[in-house]
Structure 1
Amino acid sequence: MTVIDIHAHIYPEKIAAKAVDAIGAFYDTTMYGQGTADHLLSVMEHSPITNFVVHSVATNARSVESINDFIARECEAHSEFIGFMAMHQDYADPEKEVERAIALGLKGMKIHPDTQEINLDDPRLMNVYEIIEGRLPIIIHMGDYRHDFSHPRRLKNVLRTFPDLVVNGAHFGGWSMPEVAFDLLGEERCFIDMSSSMFWLGARRTKELCRLYGTDRVLFGSDFPMWDPVLEYNTFASIDFSDDELENMLWHNAERFLGEKIGC
């Protein structure tokens, strides 16, 4: 079976250590991975994970193009990778960069409102959603109790404004507020990934939330380099889901989110 990890970050070798340290500091946690493509690829040797959706976050407008070039190069070099572009709210011509990213072979977009310090329904991002609606899916980091940037109510506003936007509300729609997220997003038309959640929820609550949202909406993700993808997979696969539920969450839902067939 194809297994798609929908949520993995990679960085160029020369800045990976600095980037990983910055993420660890932001969340006050010890990071698992080195943040490099090579380390992520080495994970595949020890697990049934066959593909990773890879991305990085632009914390300023200047870095958008270089990030997108890097992700595209890694995807060209490694067929196991499916690349998502970066975007920043202050980038001068987002439509032009979206066109360029599509030409580079990138398949979606990732934003992180908390580290980019912007409300996810800010007019500058609403302009970006309008550009990619019906063209690219987007992964949005969600729900940090320390900030209001990524509150699930903001995603609800986005989904109501752009009904054809394909969205993954990452971390069960809010890693630190999953119940609030479900109350707001449970009936909305979006995907939900379970990355960076099991450490907080445990197996029982993870299973309950997957079934509350519907196992036709939930996506498997590890949030590498924060967590070990092998351990995340093993923990998730050990929960007593049916074979059909697991196949959906590990594979088919990701295909529907991406809008293309992956694997056989």
Structure 2
Amino acid sequence: MPNQGSGPSPGRPVMDVESLVAIDVHTHAEVSEHGGESLSGPLKRGADEYFKLAGHGRPTVPEMAAYYRERNMAAVVFTVDAETATGHPPVPNDEIAQACADNADVLIPFAGVDPWKGKAAVRQARRLVEEYGVRGFKFHPNLQAFYPDDRMAYGLYEALEELQVPALFHTGQTGLGAGVPGGGGVRLKYSNPMRVDDVAVDFPGLPIILAHPSFPWQDEALAVATHKPLVHIDLSGWSPKYFPPQLVQYANTLLKDKVLFGSDYPLISPDRWLADFEKLPIKDEVRPKILKHNAARLLGLTS
């Protein structure tokens, strides 16, 4: 079970997992309460165009809490720290973690740390878990410009394995930089899920989540998740009606205990995702596993 940090403080809300409709394991804190944004102008405009969000604002973390509370869902919330590669500072992890603590009935804090920051990233990760009870860490190899199996990140993975918190890796094509000249400098080569296989081998006690249907490497993601016991797949970033048939097949069978609901909110709404998921030929006994039970077990939300 993940390190709980200092535990819930008196007067703060407590999550009632049993009553939740679903747990969304993939949402983005893209704007700070103080006005800073997680993406530079060109990348944000490209993402707006790709996801057809032009003119839509991004919610703050407290606004995300209200959104999910209305739906009786919980959500994992994170940012991406790609400051070394992009020169753009992230939404502060401390701000996100504090907002999640203040809304602990519906929000679950993850964090984004920059693997290029070496020992400073390791210290930050440990502090976030120990002080705030952060339950996992998000990596975006495309945006952070690193291969997941680059040994420079191994000190960070060692700390996460010791802390028993999951590492969530973006895999497959990304909407970040899509349509921007030169892809906004974002290189797709970093996000082949097979590059996570070495991480799963070298850190066998580290829980791992491969984010998204991994186009054009879906079969690689299924192979790694089937072969490595602690590798999971989240289904965020795509409407379920576009899921490759082999992903649906494995979610229904071999990976029924390792596939997780994720939306990619605010880029894709959970309302749209769930409406399309309802139409998939998912077995009745598997559906609640994907929507809630697998995530609750992985994140240590149930005893």
> How would you bin the TM-score normalised by the shorter chain?
0.7 to 0.9
Long gaps (5+) in structure 2: 1-18, 175-186
Q: Which residue does the alignment assign to 1:228? A: 269
Displacement of 1:208 in angstroms is 2.2
Q: Which moved more, 1:21-30 or 1:106-115?
A: 21-30
1:120 aligns with 2:133: no
Rounded to whole Å, the distance in 2 between the matches of 1:110 and 1:56 is: 7
Find 2:102's aligned residue among 50, 65, 77: 77
Percent identity between matched residues is 24
Distance 1:42 1:205, change over 3 A: farther
Displacement of 1:78 in angstroms is 1.2
The amino acid that maps onto 1:30 is F
Find 1:67's aligned residue among 92, 116, 137: 92
Displacement of 1:7 in angstroms is 0.2
Q: Which residue does the alignment assign to 2:79? A: 56
**Paired residues of 1:17 and 1:35 also in contact (CA < 8 A):** no
How does 1:1-264 map onto structure 2 within 5 Å? 1-2=19-20, 3-10=22-29, 11-13=31-33, 14-16=35-37, 22-23=43-44, 25=46, 29-32=50-53, 34-36=57-59, 37-44=61-68, 47-48=71-72, 50-60=73-83, 67-79=92-104, 80-91=106-117, 92-102=119-129, 103-135=131-163, 136-144=165-173, 147-172=188-213, 174-189=214-229, 190-198=231-239, 201-202=242-243, 206-211=247-252, 213-261=254-302
Q: TM-score, normalised by structure 1?
A: 0.85
Q: Which moved more, 1:107-116 or 1:97-106?
A: 97-106
Deviations 1:51-80 (A, max 9, x none): 000000001159889621111121122121
Long gaps (5+) in structure 1: none
The amino acid that maps onto 1:97 is Q
Count of aligned pairs: 260
Q: As a proportion of its length, which structure holds more helix?
A: 1
Displacement of 1:82 in angstroms is 0.4
Q: Which moved more, 1:55-64 or 1:158-167?
A: 55-64
**Paired residues of 1:55 and 1:86 also in contact (CA < 8 A):** yes
**RMSD (Å) for aligned C-alpha atoms:** 2.9
Distance 1:114 1:151, change over 3 A: same
